[in-house]
Protein backbone atom coordinates (compact mmCIF):
# COMPACT_ATOMS: atom_id res chain seq x y z
CA UNK A 1 0.00 0.00 0.00
CA UNK A 2 2.59 2.57 0.95
CA UNK A 3 4.32 2.50 -2.41
CA UNK A 4 3.12 5.60 -4.21
CA UNK A 5 4.15 7.28 -7.42
CA UNK A 6 3.67 10.63 -5.69
CA UNK A 7 6.66 11.95 -3.83
CA UNK A 8 6.11 13.02 -0.26
CA UNK A 9 5.84 16.75 0.27
CA UNK A 10 6.31 16.36 4.01
CA UNK A 11 7.39 13.39 6.05
CA UNK A 12 7.78 12.56 9.73
CA UNK A 13 9.04 9.46 11.46
CA UNK A 14 8.74 9.09 15.20
CA UNK A 15 11.93 8.11 17.01
CA UNK A 16 10.20 4.98 18.32
CA UNK A 17 9.48 3.97 14.71
CA UNK A 18 5.80 3.27 15.43
CA UNK A 19 4.26 5.90 13.18
CA UNK A 20 5.19 7.23 9.80
CA UNK A 21 3.36 10.27 8.41
CA UNK A 22 3.55 11.28 4.75
CA UNK A 23 1.81 14.05 2.90
CA UNK A 24 1.53 13.35 -0.83
CA UNK A 25 -0.61 16.44 -1.48
CA UNK A 26 0.14 20.11 -2.05
CA UNK A 27 -1.97 20.97 1.00
CA UNK A 28 -0.37 21.57 4.34
CA UNK A 29 -0.68 18.83 6.92
CA UNK A 30 -3.20 19.41 9.71
CA UNK A 31 -1.44 21.00 12.65
CA UNK A 32 -1.86 20.25 16.34
CA UNK A 33 -3.32 16.76 15.88
CA UNK A 34 -1.59 14.37 18.31
CA UNK A 35 -1.40 11.48 15.83
CA UNK A 36 1.14 9.43 17.80
CA UNK A 37 -0.68 9.83 21.13
CA UNK A 38 -4.02 8.94 19.51
CA UNK A 39 -2.48 5.88 17.85
CA UNK A 40 -0.92 4.77 21.13
CA UNK A 41 -4.21 5.26 23.03
CA UNK A 42 -6.23 3.23 20.54
CA UNK A 43 -3.77 0.60 19.31
CA UNK A 44 -0.87 0.59 21.75
CA UNK A 45 2.67 1.92 21.58
CA UNK A 46 4.07 -1.08 19.70
CA UNK A 47 1.60 -0.86 16.79
CA UNK A 48 3.41 0.23 13.61
CA UNK A 49 1.26 2.67 11.64
CA UNK A 50 1.69 4.41 8.32
CA UNK A 51 -0.49 7.52 7.89
CA UNK A 52 -0.64 8.95 4.38
CA UNK A 53 -2.42 12.15 3.38
CA UNK A 54 -3.71 11.88 -0.18
CA UNK A 55 -5.88 13.81 -2.61
CA UNK A 56 -9.17 12.72 -4.14
CA UNK A 57 -7.63 11.03 -7.19
CA UNK A 58 -5.54 8.62 -5.08
CA UNK A 59 -8.40 8.18 -2.60
CA UNK A 60 -10.82 7.28 -5.40
CA UNK A 61 -8.34 4.77 -6.87
CA UNK A 62 -7.80 3.08 -3.50
CA UNK A 63 -11.52 3.06 -2.75
CA UNK A 64 -12.33 1.60 -6.18
CA UNK A 65 -9.63 -1.08 -5.94
CA UNK A 66 -10.24 -2.17 -2.35
CA UNK A 67 -13.91 -1.44 -1.72
CA UNK A 68 -15.48 -1.30 -5.18
CA UNK A 69 -16.65 2.30 -4.70
CA UNK A 70 -15.81 4.72 -7.49
CA UNK A 71 -15.65 7.86 -5.36
CA UNK A 72 -13.11 9.42 -3.02
CA UNK A 73 -13.28 8.27 0.60
CA UNK A 74 -12.42 10.63 3.42
CA UNK A 75 -10.49 7.84 5.14
CA UNK A 76 -9.40 4.30 4.30
CA UNK A 77 -7.82 1.88 6.77
CA UNK A 78 -5.86 -1.21 5.82
CA UNK A 79 -4.65 -3.63 8.48
CA UNK A 80 -1.46 -5.34 7.37
CA UNK A 81 -1.02 -7.59 10.40
CA UNK A 82 -2.11 -7.67 14.03
CA UNK A 83 0.56 -5.09 14.84
CA UNK A 84 0.71 -2.91 11.73
CA UNK A 85 -1.53 -1.05 9.33
CA UNK A 86 -2.03 1.92 7.05
CA UNK A 87 -4.45 4.81 7.06
CA UNK A 88 -5.06 7.08 4.08
CA UNK A 89 -6.86 10.40 4.68
CA UNK A 90 -8.10 12.44 1.73
CA UNK A 91 -7.48 16.03 2.83
CA UNK A 92 -9.64 17.60 0.10
CA UNK A 93 -12.66 15.41 0.84
CA UNK A 94 -12.21 15.88 4.59
CA UNK A 95 -12.04 19.66 4.19
CA UNK A 96 -15.30 19.65 2.21
CA UNK A 97 -17.08 17.35 4.69
CA UNK A 98 -15.96 18.94 7.98
CA UNK A 99 -18.81 21.52 8.06
CA UNK A 100 -21.37 18.73 7.54
CA UNK A 101 -20.18 17.24 10.84
CA UNK A 102 -20.08 20.64 12.62
CA UNK A 103 -16.32 20.29 13.03
CA UNK A 104 -13.34 22.38 12.08
CA UNK A 105 -11.05 20.93 9.45
CA UNK A 106 -8.33 20.00 11.96
CA UNK A 107 -10.83 18.53 14.41
CA UNK A 108 -12.44 16.49 11.63
CA UNK A 109 -9.05 15.07 10.61
CA UNK A 110 -8.52 13.92 14.21
CA UNK A 111 -12.10 12.54 14.28
CA UNK A 112 -11.48 10.56 11.08
CA UNK A 113 -8.10 9.35 12.29
CA UNK A 114 -9.66 7.93 15.47
CA UNK A 115 -12.33 6.23 13.37
CA UNK A 116 -9.66 4.67 11.16
CA UNK A 117 -7.70 3.46 14.18
CA UNK A 118 -10.67 1.46 15.42
CA UNK A 119 -11.13 -0.14 12.01
CA UNK A 120 -7.47 -1.21 12.24
CA UNK A 121 -8.26 -2.65 15.63
CA UNK A 122 -10.85 -4.87 13.95
CA UNK A 123 -14.05 -3.01 14.71
CA UNK A 124 -16.92 -2.74 12.25
CA UNK A 125 -19.44 0.12 12.49
CA UNK A 126 -21.42 -0.53 15.66
CA UNK A 127 -22.45 0.96 18.97
CA UNK A 128 -19.38 -0.65 20.55
CA UNK A 129 -17.08 1.00 18.02
CA UNK A 130 -18.79 4.36 18.58
CA UNK A 131 -18.45 4.02 22.37
CA UNK A 132 -14.71 3.31 22.06
CA UNK A 133 -14.23 6.21 19.64
CA UNK A 134 -16.15 8.53 21.96
CA UNK A 135 -13.89 7.59 24.89
CA UNK A 136 -10.76 8.51 22.90
CA UNK A 137 -12.35 11.72 21.59
CA UNK A 138 -13.28 12.70 25.14
CA UNK A 139 -9.80 11.94 26.49
CA UNK A 140 -8.24 14.16 23.79
CA UNK A 141 -11.02 16.82 23.63
CA UNK A 142 -11.85 16.03 20.01
The answer to whether position 5 is within a domain reads no
Q: Please check whether residue 53 lies inside any domain of the structure.
A: yes
Range of the domain at 16: 10-139
Q: Is residue 109 part of a domain?
A: yes
pLDDT of the residue at 11: 41
- Asked if residue 106 belongs to a domain, the reply is yes
pLDDT at position 10: 40
The tens place of each residue's pLDDT in the chain, 142 residues long, gives: 444 333 333 444 444 568 999 999 999 888 899 999 999 999 999 999 999 999 999 999 999 999 999 999 999 999 999 999 999 999 999 999 999 999 999 999 999 999 999 999 999 899 999 999 999 999 999 9
> What's the pLDDT score for residue 17?
62
**C-alpha radius of gyration, the chain, whole number:** 14
Q: Is 133 within a domain?
A: yes
Q: Of 122, 37, 60, 53, which is closest to residue 85 (Cα–Cα)?
A: 122
Domain count, the chain: 1
Instruction: Return the CATH number at 67.
Output: 3.40.390.30
- 2 occurs within a structural domain: no
Model pLDDT, residue 8: 39
Residue 103 maps to a domain: yes
Q: Is residue 105 part of a domain?
A: yes
Supply the pLDDT for residue 22.
95
pLDDT of residue 29: 86
Amino acid sequence: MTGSKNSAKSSQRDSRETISIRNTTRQGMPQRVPFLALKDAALGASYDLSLVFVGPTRSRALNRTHRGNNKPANILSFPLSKTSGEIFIDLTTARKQAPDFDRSYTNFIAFLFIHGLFHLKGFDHSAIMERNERAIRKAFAI
